[in-house]
Structure 1
Amino acid sequence: MQTLVVDHPLVAHKLTHLRDQRTDSPTFRSLADELVTLLAYEATREVRVCPVSIQTPVSPTEGVELASPRPLVVPILRAGLGMLDGMMRLLPTAEVGFLGMVRNEETLQATTYAERLPADLSGRQCYVLDPMLATGGTLAAAIDFLVQRGADDITCICLLVAPEGVAKLEEATSHIEVPIHVVTAAMDERLNEKGYIVPGLGDAGDRLYGVAG
């Protein structure tokens, strides 16, 4: 597994305002959208392409286009939905699947409660969207789910990661032979006793969509 922390002043600027507790939900959604597009630029460096011949207004030339099968973007419900538009802005011809996972706040174990994905992912590059890599359980379960369906290249895009989560994810996926990458805006200090990233930005789902009473 490889982890890339994107070092760019615009990434740091947007992340700073995401962290700020004074940032309201509409602004948080807008910043998350913009930040994901910047992260997606780095995350798609190895996206598969194939050669294609085209005609410009001046002459014939050679170029590339996305190879088939198209990449599959998989937001983890619910917070991952807040990252989807930013990803699709950069990769508009990708297909989208959904994976619903919930973490038990006592055991910190993730379970799948919903999925809308192709039954066969053979030969597919998958881009998993999840704002926070905290304990690592959710992403580990998601990766295992996708690999069981045949995905052969998985990149996880996260706004923030914790060192404990990265270590746990690497351990949990050590038996998986397909390439796994994590692309993030920052590696934070640690997890607290409740499994939240410190300094973090709070609960990403609540900050994106508010708390339903």
Structure 2
Amino acid sequence: MTSSSLPGTAKVTVVDHPLILHKLSLMRDVRTGVKEFRELAGELSMLLAYEAMRDLETAPERLSTPIQDDDFPMLSGKKLALVAILRAGLIMADAMVRLVPAAKVGHIGLYRDPATLKPVAYYSKLPQDISERRVFVTDPMLATGGSAVAAIQTLKEAGAQSIKLMTILSVPEGIAAVHAAHPDVDIVTAAIDTGLNDHGYIVPGLGDAGDRIYGTK
């Protein structure tokens, strides 16, 4: 695992655990079908969540084991919210909620205009108490960064103050765009690829995550 940041900027954490690297390589493979791709995306998301949530607060709580009473760590502090950028971010949020079932789930709908590559908003539904929660934004691909920047802005306008972005693949251009607009938002990713091609796709990447998750291409 590697982490990096510049003075005064948020942190980028690359979780390069062997299990994550293996599952990511299978996701990249053009031969991987929809069912397996979907399962891998969920498994990888849960592995990323372990690291993304490493700094969650705990507090001792008195419990009884079959042997004796003692104090044991339990989650405390702010409650959690998982916010999926539609549509591909759903697979990550759905997997992560299995780890934190008490978390509330929000959705932000954005699509990328194929001509301008700019995000276009079409839907937003967030927990009413979003300002009181630690928010984890999910989107498998951080490419140009436009969708992530717009989604984070929507969250901030709704009152969110503690936001972390979780992605499966990122590129330097997307990371730079997010941190230029939101220097307070940490990013957790499985890998940082080379860059973008002329169509705004990550290279070498894994193709269009949404299409491969839902079998729409």
User: What's the TM-score once normalised by structure 1's chain length?
Assistant: 0.92
> Could you tell me which residue of structure 2 aligns to residue 85 of structure 1?
94
Deviations 1:73-126 (A, max 9, x none): 111111111222321222222111111111112222213211121234223100
Identity across matched positions, percent: 48
My pick for the range that moved more, 145-154 or 20-29, is 145-154
2:49 to 37, 40, 46: 40
How many angstroms apart in 1 are the aligned matches of 2:174 and 2:117? 12
How many angstroms apart in 1 are the aligned matches of 2:128 and 2:178? 24
Distance apart, 1:69 and its partner CA? 4.7
How many angstroms apart in 2 are the aligned matches of 1:171 and 1:72? 24
1:180 to 185, 196, 199: 185
The 5 Å alignment of 1:159-178 reads 159-174=168-183
Question: Do structure 1's residue 104 and structure 2's residue 113 form an aligned pair?
Answer: yes
> Could you tell me which residue of structure 1 aligns to residue 13 of structure 2?
4
How many angstroms apart in 1 are the aligned matches of 2:69 and 2:205? 51
> Could you tell me which residue of structure 1 aligns to residue 29 of structure 2?
20
Question: Do structure 1's residue 145 and structure 2's residue 154 form an aligned pair?
Answer: yes
Retained in 2: the 8 A contact 1:120–1:149? no
* Equivalences, count: 208
Deviations 1:152-185 (A, max 9, x none): 21111111001111011111113xxxx4211111
**In angstroms, what is the RMSD of aligned CA positions?**
1.5
Give secondary structure in 1 for the equivalent of 2:84. Answer: strand
My pick for the range that moved more, 3-12 or 51-60, is 51-60
* Amino acid corresponding to residue 25 of structure 1 in structure 2: V
User: What's the TM-score once normalised by structure 2's chain length?
Assistant: 0.90
Give secondary structure in 1 for the equivalent of 2:98. Answer: helix
> Could you tell me which residue of structure 1 aligns to residue 5 of structure 2?
none
Query: Any gaps of 5 or more consecutive residues in structure 1?
Result: none
* Amino acid corresponding to residue 51 of structure 2 in structure 1: E
> Could you tell me which residue of structure 2 aligns to residue 198 of structure 1?
203
